[in-house]
Amino acid sequence: MDLVPLIPPVVALILILVTRQAALSLGAAVIAGVLLIHQGNPLASLRALFEEILFSVFESPWNLSAILFTLTLGGFATVLEKGGGFTALLNRLISKETKQPKKRLLFGIYGLGLLCFFDGLANAILLGRISRPMTDALRISRQFLAYLIDSTSACVACVAFISTWIATQLSLIDEGLKGSDVTSSPVDLFFASIPANPYCLLTLLLIPLAIHRSWKPGPMGKALPHETSTPIESSDELKARTSLIPLAALVLILPGFIYLWQDTLYTEDKIPLPWSWKNAFRSDGVPYAMTAAGFVALAVACLAFPRARWKELPEHVTHGAASLLPALIILLCAWSLGKVFNELGTANLLTDVIKGSTSVAYLPLLVFLLGSVTSFLTGTSWGTMGLLMPIVVPIGIDLGAADQLTTLLPMIIGAVFGGAVFGDHCSPFSDTTIVSAMASGCSPTSHVITQIPYALLTALGAAIAYSLMAFGLPAWISTLICAAAMSTFVLTQKEPTSAN
């Protein structure tokens, strides 16, 4: 068996484990792959690297939209953070007398985390900064705050259709579909993959359960609150209201633009068919609509920014966009690596190996476990997605029968996303883990130790869900069964008497 096609992914994986640098590792794998394709000829490899790999990735509207949409939402997130509206919203939650101020505040932080669906890292930074003084004042441990914002950030960004992740996710799905006869669009497959992503869904469910029961297993129960004398600030009702305007605009503008940008379909007699939402999300106009919506939403966020501080806007917008450049470099390397995999036939080789070793029904479970281990050891969700998606989607297409692909592909895609988020959520090397700890005011080590029991519980639930899918249960039923089991387990735990 010719193992040459496996060299680039092995190079990428080894370097990620050694250097913890996703962009460097994926880039090195691309170079190794191009050298293999051109039999070590340095001049031919150099020309191919730029002409056939790097420059060709920009020919896809999906890829260009991923770059532009991500940059605009990076600026959008920073403008919202600097506007101060979310601080005002949280202040209002605890400005009135209540019997359960801790739970009220924590549910408020969780709710704002769901509202900040547009970016995982910005979500963690924003909520950590504005929440820490209030959680300190109410004697809530900073480790629990870090768990709350870390668990919400990446998980909600992964399953939200409007986020800095979505353009990347759609472009990676599109990359995996190239050269196949699959007619489903990347958007169709993304939506179908949501119920097949039990890790993210179970994590988002576990947070309110843990808040409601004050459930703090293992090390979390020993985490002590930070002593502080900082008073809770008064709320600003105007800021609280205006902070929701840009979010509402983003939620309404993006689907609206996608609907208006759809292509008109015709019958065999060339009679135009009426527009529909189904056609809109399958249309080739989606990447253009996403890009336009990102710019409009950014403009709305700037208009809602306090007028007295408008001079700050250029700095906030450019800083927010620049903060996502490292992620975009990883994405560029992932696209390039996908092209190298196609040239070398990496997916075909792995398909032949898997055919004789495991049933296609268990492929989503295998992908989830592989993604979880990879992302935990490397700390990169986008690097994990970029490494796995171009390989496992073609494998699923080759192994699955035509009538299986409508259910198999969403499961595989959901498994890639869920496995990638597991490491982003709790790996000690993850930027989101580190940023969540720093924004909350605790050490990354204490954050990882206290968060691991929650992450392992939802990872176990996800693995069980994929096992149920392998037995033939639909993805949503499998996820629902595990959600019910997990809820029963947490709700039967004894609530500490001092929880409130």
SS (H, E, C) the chain: CCCHHHHHHHHHHHHHHHHCCHHHHHHHHHHHHHHHHCCCCHHHHHHHHHHHHHHHHHHCHHHHHHHHHHHHHHHHHHHHHHHCHHHHHHHHHCCCCCCCHHHHHHHHHHHHHHHCCCCHHHHHHHHHHHHHHHHHHCCCCHHHHHHHHHHHHHHHHHHCCCCCCHHHHHHHHHHHHCCCCCCCCHHHHHHHHCCCCHHHHHHHHHHHHHHHHCCCCHHHHHCCCCCCCCCCCCCCHHHHHHCHHHHHHHHHHHHHHHHHCCCCCECCCCCECCCCHHHHHHCCCHHHHHHHHHHHHHHHHHHHCCHHHHHHHHHHHHHHHHCCHHHHHHHHHHHHHHHHHHHHCHHHHHHHHHHCCCCHHHHHHHHHHHHHHHHHHHCCHHHHHHHHHHHHHHHHHHHCCCCCHHHHHHHHHHHHHHHHHHHHHHCCCCHHHHHHHHHHCCCHHHHHHHHHHHHHHHHHHHHHHHHHHHCCCCHHHHHHHHHHHHHHHHHCCCCCCCCC
Query: Residue 166: which of 86, 260, 68 has the closest Cα?
Result: 68
Q: What CA–CA distance (Å, rounded) separates 395 from 469?
A: 18
Contacts of 225 (CB under 8 A, 6+ apart): 135, 136, 139, 140, 141, 142
Using CA atoms, how far apart are residues 106 and 28, in angstroms rounded to an integer? 43
Return the structure tokens found at 349.
Answer: 């080789």
Q: 101-115 and 120-137 helices cross at what angle (nearest 10)? A: 170
pLDDT given for residue 242 in this prediction: 67
- List, in sequence order, every residue forming a beta bridge with 272; answer none if it has no partner: 266
What whole-number distance in Å separates Cα of residue 343 and Cα of residue 38?
A: 11
Taking a C-beta distance cutoff of 8 angstroms, is the pair 172, 390 a contact? Answer: yes
Report the Cα 207 to chain-centroid distance in Å: 17
Q: What whole-number distance in Å separates Cα of residue 33 and Cα of residue 7?
A: 7
Q: Are 135 and 87 contacting, i.e. CB atoms less than 8 angstroms apart?
A: no
Which pTM does this prediction carry?
A: 0.72
Helix axes 198-213, 405-426, angle to 10 degrees: 50
Q: Partners of 266 in the beta sheet?
A: 272
The values of phi and psi at residue 266, to 5°, are -130, 150
Predicted pLDDT of residue 235: 46
**What's residue 473's pLDDT?**
94
- What is the pLDDT, as a whole number, of residue 119? 61
pLDDT value, residue 195: 95
Neighbours of 334 (CB within 10 A): 29
The whole-number pLDDT of residue 234 equals 47
Can you give the pLDDT at residue 255? 80
Give the angle 52-55-58 at the CA atoms, nearest 5°: 125
What local confidence, expressed as pLDDT, does residue 370 receive? 85
Count CB atoms within 10 A of the CB of residue 401: 8
User: How high does pLDDT run on average in the chain?
Assistant: 81
Parts of the chain with a pLDDT under 50: 231, 234-235
Place of tokens 């080789």: 349
- Residue 2 has φ and ψ, to the nearest 5°, of -80, 115
Direct distance between the N- and C-terminal alpha carbons of the chain, in angstroms, rounded to an integer: 63
User: In the prediction, which pLDDT does 29 show?
Assistant: 86
pLDDT tens digit sequence for 305-354 = 888 888 889 998 998 888 778 767 877 887 787 788 778 877 566 656 66
